[in-house]
Structure formats: structure tokens, C-alpha cells
Structure 1
Amino acid sequence: MAKIEPGNGLKSAESRKSLRGTTESLALTDGEGNLFGSDSELNAYTSERQTDKYGFIGGAQQYSEQSAENIPPEVLRQREAKWLDMLNNWDKWMAKRHKKMKLRCQKGIPPSLRGRAWLYLSGGKELDSQAGDPKWVDVIERDLHRQFPFHEMFVARGGHGQQDLYRVLKAYTLHRPEEGYCQAQAPIAAVLLMHMPAEDAFWGLVQICEKYLPGYYSAGLEAIQLDGEILFALLKQVSPLAHRHLKKHKLDPILYMTEWFMCAFSRTLPWVSVLRVWDMFLCEGVKIIFRVGLVLLKCMLGSQDKLKTCQGQYETMELLKTIDTRYMQEGFLVREILELPVSERDIEKEHLASVRRWKETRGELHCKSLPRMHGAKAIMAAEPPSCQDLRQNPTIIVESPLATKSNGEDKERKRTKEEKNGKKNSFPTPVAAYLEPSEPSPLKDTALLGSNQSLSSTEHDTYL
């Protein structure tokens, strides 16, 4: 493996432990070169800008009509009805109609149901808050303001978004004290919080860290290095020209794919594309992340004309840091992902080969993580029945328009009978799973409210 040089986006191997937290200060710009150095300036900026449909007030991931597919309202309503039917009969759909569910994830989950669907797909459960471990609290606090600073949920220091993000990240350090906190977990948790309550987001984070991307956030980053080698091996099949170019210039995969994989592309793609990728990722597993990486590498380095502009290592790295927007647009990217012939079997085959080479050259792996599971069906099959509480306690209790006519007639007869007997028709009231924190959040005023640090969404964090 090539030596990782500081300045290429990732620190050297000797200082990789610094990836698990940071103290560096950043500078926040509005995307037009204007710098914000104080909270008052930032608040004035947010009041002048229009929030987009996803909550962004600026930045590279703000919604753009050019990068999104236009879905007619009537089609969206039909998809919502279908998803409601699936969510109300989740066990049956997962067991008997998983292929149809996968196709619906590929088409995109309706925004109104995306949070609940992600929780069901990942197999998440409720959170019981505990006191934080002081060893990680300070590191987490310093990272809160850097997660999607142009999103209305996280723009205010000490606001509800940052408070919930703190709770989720703190809870994970208690859940896995041997791992603690890794900076790349923060954007993952932030994306989940945009779509679900903190308790659900926590268990979604647990599932991603333990089932979808096991070992990614452990000390040493061995799992991400192994997946880098897998990506490079698969690239040889998908785009031999891009593979030869990267090999010629000795560009180790970890130099360009670390942020992609560890953040599940949440900091790389336009937001509409992020959501579509996550829909498929949570349904089908890590192969989607590999496919996205392969598509981007193929599109950027897959022809002689494109390689003319990057004759050296530096030029190639700069090209991969500024991916052409046309390759990241929702319609184009999703089609390319679905057409790319990379399966779970291909990934596991290369995984075994990479582990064998690792042991031959560097000895035994220090990270003893569980085997990853390829998607929602594998995760649900592996969970004991006692943990499958989603069907028994649905959050959404709505009669689906797809319900059979016989069911409707049965309910009508029952309602008529109850009315004759003088009984009022009653429906179960969903119980909120959102538990209040058992303690006041220990976020320090000096850390969140009185800080004079400048921020930036364009600067790279230490794990990049």
C-alpha cells in the first residue's frame, strides 16, 4: 500500500488516531465567497435566504431543479399508498415480496415516509438514554457545528438539531465503549436525524455501524482500507483504463474513497442523489456504496480524453475532489448504479482475497468485526423474532387504499354492530417512542453558544 502523505486529504498512518476527533477550526462561507465569523452574521444570513424543500439554506447540497427528477403528484400519492401498505404489513412483505420492495426502493421512497421506511429497513429499535462518557463528550461537542452547517436543523449552535446529534453520538459511545466516537459517524447520524426522532436515529446509526459497515469506525480503519482494496479490484473489471491510471500514479484507494464510504456519500452528492442512494443502500446493502464509487471513477477516469487533463497524481486527486455535477445528478447516477454488474458475491469474493493479502503482508487484522449483512432482508432474517417489534408497534396506523374489499366489508359490519350496541368506534392511538433525556444535555455554553470559532462547509475534516 502506498504511503499516505499529509496534505492529500488524510493524515499519515502514524497519526490515524487523529481521525477519531478533531480540534481544528473551520471557516464557513455562503457558497459565494463571503465568510461568516460569528453567530450573529450567520443568523442574519439564514434569515435572508430561502430554505429549500430539504431544509438547506445554501451550500453545495441545496436543492436544484436540474439535479432532480420531476415526479408527478399523482404518482407520488400512489407510491405513498403502496408504502403505507408495506409498512403496515412489513413482515409479510419482507418475507414474501422482497424483490418488489427492492424495486420500490430503487424508484425512491416517498419523502413523507422515508424516515419510517429507513428505520424499518435497517431494523432499528428504541433508545434508552444514559449519562455520557466524559472521554468522548468534549470531542463530540467540537464536531457538532460542522455537520451540514447550511441545514436549518443544525445551523443554530446549541439548537435542537445539535442537541439531538449530541445525544445520538454520545449514546453510541456508551453502546460500543470499545469503539468510542469516530468523526465520520456524525454526518451519518445527522442524515438520520433529518428524517426521524433521536431514538430512532440512534438505532439506525447502530445498524449502519454494525450491520452495513462493520469496522468502519474502529481504531486503525482497517475495514475501510480493506474495502478500498476491494473497490480497486472491482474497478479493474468495470473500467480497466481507470484502474491502470490509478495504479500507474500509485494512488491508494483510501486517498479518494474514505469520505465517500465512511459518510455513505452524504457529503459528496447533491442531496436528492444522497436520498436515492440511501434508499437503495439501506435496502440492498453496501454493494450500492461500491457501485456509486465505481460509477464516479468510471465516469471521471474511464476514457483517454478525460485522462488528458490529469497526467499526474496531484491532478488526478484534484479531479476526484471536484466531480463533474452531471455525473452526480439523480437520474443519471441512479441508472448507472442499477446497470453496473457488481453483486454481493463479487464483493465477498474480493473481500476474502483482500483479507488473505493483508495477512500475508501485514499479519492478523486487529479489528474483529462481525460479517456485514447485505441489506434489509439479511438483517431481518438474522434478528431473533423477539427483536422484530416494528409490525407489532407501528408508528403509522392508516388504512391502506390497497386493502382488500373483504377487509373493508368486515370492518363495516363490525362498526355497524358496535353502533347498534351503543359502543363508540375506537382506534389504537400510537404511543410516541421518543423518550425524554434522563438528564439535561451537558452541552457547554462555551462550546456551543459563546464560541467565536469560524466555520466552513468547504474545508475538509481530519478523516478525509
Structure 2
Amino acid sequence: MNEYVAVLSRRSARWSKLLKRKEQVEKNTKVKRFVRKGVPKDHRARIWMASSGAQEQLEKNPGYYHSLLAAEHEAKLEETIRTDMHRTFPDNVQFRNTTEPCLQKALFNVLLAYGHHNQAVGYCQGMNFIAGYLIIVTKDEEKSFWLMDALLGRILPDYYCPDMLGLKTDQEVLAELLQEKAPAVSGGLGQYPGIWTLVLSRWFICLYIDVLPVETVLRIWDCLFYEGSKILFRVALTLILHHQAEILAARSLPEVCECFKAITRTQFTMDCHTFMQKIFTEPGRLSMATITNLRKTCQEHILSEESKLKL
């Protein structure tokens, strides 16, 4: 930890120097390199807002967030969101009713506003953890709302729709990538129908919250907002590639599931600086164009299979 604190201190000084010279956060090779090495917490909200396009949307739509809160609310949406309030980070003191200020009110507002903003999605489980993380980082409801819009509307389309087509598609995309990059694991787990949904849905739907250590998740999100959803695949591939031996040693479905839980809580994932370096080397080349093409193929396959089931 002492070594990592020293790394953070050096990174913070370099970020401060970079941002002092520029009003706008540009997208270029230097900033990308800086993001991959970690965004200091003092600058994280600004970088996420700028790199995701959320800041641009906030400025284009002044007062929009507060108009959503002022509008008449759907009773069912309110009730559904309230049900999940006490389940959101129960171990985090900032979300306890006894804390002042309690972040539950801000969390409720962001989720309610987003439910009205994107009525095709409304609210579903998993969104509360994402909104909670955003509020912790930004300390601002409106910024958290627009970051939610960037994530759910542009970076992760169709993850949270009722049919979760985007999530199903990306699980198949990862399975396809593993056939190429880890054929032994892909073949070994092929004997368990639906295995990828079983072990990976939580990784993707919660964007690794409560799956990986907190600091590691924040570092992943730095890159997610800057580089897009291919980062989710890089993380998953690295976890699996790095632990192929343990996964292949599992002899039953319960053992496989337990192994996938265990590989997320190791020294490898705790050392977030080394882990983040590995996600850009271990999986090898992985372009957004490759992901886009695989998504198209996998989505066509899913829709075809679902269509057959309806006949």
C-alpha cells in the first residue's frame, strides 16, 4: 500500500500539471496513457465527465435534471427504487440512514430522474450500485445523472433494457473471444450449458462493483469512460487467462462457480496498478471494431434463437 500511495502521489502531480495547462480535456495518446495509469480522485469526476461526453450533455441541457425531479412521478417506479435503497452498499457508512448527510436521498433522486429520462429502461437491479458509485465519486447528483446517461445510453447500450439484449450479446461475445484466446478453457466449460450467463452476468451488469476490490473497480471505470466497453472484455479475459489452471482444475459446475468467485479476490486483483497493466497486455490485441463485429454476429444469433422458441 505504501508503494501504491507513492504512485498515486506522483500521478496526482502529473495530472495537476497537465490539467493546469488545458481548459478542455482532450482525447489523445498522452491523456489515454495517463488514464490507463490511473486518475487521481481529485480529478476523477472531471475526467469521467469530459471523456464520456456527460459534461457536454449537462451543458446542452441546463435545468433538465431538476425538471425531471419536479415532474409528476410514476408510483410503481418510485416503489421499485425504494425497495433497493437499503440494499445499496449496506456496509458503506455514507449510505446509512443514521449518517448526515445520507447519500440515499441523492441515490433515490438520480435513479428516479433516470427512470423518467429513459423510460425504455426505467429501473432494474444493478443500476443502484452504479448510481451509488457515481455519487461517491462526483459528490453531485446532476453529474451522476449525466454519467448514468453516458453509461447506459451510449457506452453500454441495451444492458438494462427489459430483455437485456446487450448483456446477453456481450456474454456471447466474450465466449467467442475465449475460443480464440483460451481454447482450453472455452472447450472445458462448454460442457456446462449457460455457464457464461451464470458466472459472468454479475461481472458485466454491475461493471465489476462488489466483484473486484474498490480501487481496482475505480481504475477500470477510468478506462471504461475514456475507451469504451471493450475494457470490460479486457478485464474478463485477463481474469480468465491469468487463472486458466485453476478453472480447468474444477470438476463440477459448483466448483467452476466457486473458482470464478475466488479468482476475483486475489492478490492479483488487489494490486490494482499491476492488474491494470496486465489487462492491456495479457489479452493481446482487442479493437473496438472487433467487438462491434462480434456483437452484430452474436446478436443476430440470439434473436434468431429467441424467434425459434416463440414458434
Q: Which amino acid aligns with 2:15?
A: R
CA distance in 2, matches of 1:337, 1:207: 23
Would you say 1:122 and 2:45 are equivalent positions?
Answer: no
Residue pair 1:215, 1:222 contacting (<8 A) in 2 also: yes
**Alpha-carbon distance change, 311 to 142 in structure 1, aligned in 2, over 3 angstroms:** same
5+ residue gaps, structure 2, are none
The offset of 1:352, in angstroms, is 1.7
Deviation at 1:112, TM superposition (A): 0.6
Say yes or no: does 1:101 pair with 2:34. no
Pair 1:135-2:76 in alignment = yes
In the alignment, the residues of structure 2 paired with residue 190 and residue 72 of structure 1 have an alpha-carbon distance, to the nearest angstrom, of 24
Deviation string for 1:14-70 (max 9, x for gaps)?
Answer: xxxxxxxxxxxxxxxxxxxxxxxxxxxxxxxxxxxxxxxxxxxxxxxxxxx389564
Unmatched segments (≥5 aa) in structure 1? 1-64, 365-464
Q: Is the 8 A contact 1:295 1:337 kept in 2?
A: yes
Using a 3 Å threshold, how does the CA distance of structure 1 residues 72 and 239 change in structure 2: closer, same or farther?
same
In 2, Cα distance between equivalents of 1:168 and 1:84: 31
- 1:234 pairs, out of 177, 182, 188, with 177
Letter in 2 for 1:114: R
Shift of 1:115: 1.1
Q: What is the TM-score with the length of structure 2 in the denominator?
A: 0.87
Q: Deviations over 1:307-359 (max 9, x none)?
A: 22x10111101111222412313023212211122211221121121123224
Structure in which a larger fraction of residues adopt helix: 2
Asked if 1 retains the 8 angstrom alpha-carbon contact of 2:131 and 2:144, the reply is yes
Local SS of the residue matching 2:211: coil
Matched, 1:163 2:98: no
Q: What is the number of residues matched between the two proteins?
A: 291
CA shift at 1:156, angstroms?
A: 2.8
Partner letter of residue 271 of structure 1? V
Q: Label 1:314 to 1:201 Cα distance change in 2 as closer, same or farther (>3 A).
A: same
Residue 313 of structure 1 corresponds to 253
Superposition TM-score, scaled by structure 1 size: 0.59
Q: Cα–Cα, structure 1 residues 336 and 168, in superposed 2: closer, same or farther, change >3 Å?
A: same
In the superposition, relative to structure 1, how do residues 353 and 153 fare at CA in structure 2: closer, same or farther (>3 Å)? same
1:351 partnered with 2:310: no
C-alpha distance in 2 between matches for 1:296 and 1:322: 11
For 1:72 and 1:266, locate their aligned partners in 2 and report how far apart those are by CA, in whole Å.
Answer: 21
Provide the residue aligned with 1:190 in structure 2: 132
Question: For residues 78 and 216 of structure 1, do their structure 2 counterparts lie closer, same or farther at Cα, with a shift above 3 Å needed?
Answer: same
CA distance in 2, matches of 1:233, 1:260: 17
Over residues 70-124 of structure 1, what are the superposed CA-to-partner deviations in whole Å (9 max), with x where a residue is unaligned? 41635522222213434x133xx23xxx222211110111111111211112222
Q: Partner of 2:86: helix, strand, or coil?
A: helix
Partner of 1:199: 142
Return 126-135 or 313-322, whichever deviates more. Answer: 126-135
Equivalent pair of 1:80/1:110 in contact (CA under 8 Å): no
The structure with more radius of gyration: 1
Q: Hey, what does 1:76 align to over in structure 2?
A: 12
1:108 partner SS: coil
> What is the letter of the counterpart of residue 162 of structure 2?
A
Work out whether residues 189 and 201 of structure 1, in 8 Å CA contact, stay in contact via their aligned partners in 2: yes
Aligned to 1:295: 238
Are positions 1:89 and 2:33 aligned together?
no
- The range that moved more, 69-78 or 268-277, is 69-78
SS state at 2:221 partner: helix
User: In structure 2, which of residues 166, 171, 181 is the aligned counterpart of residue 223 of structure 1?
Assistant: 166
Q: Pairwise CA RMSD of aligned residues?
A: 2.1
Q: Do the aligned residues in 2 keep the contact of 1:251 with 1:313 (CA within 8 Å)?
A: no
- Helix, strand or coil: the match of 1:328? helix
Partner of 1:212: 155
Cα shift at 1:229: 0.3
Partner of 1:248: 191
Tell me which of 104, 118, 121 is aligned to 1:179.
121
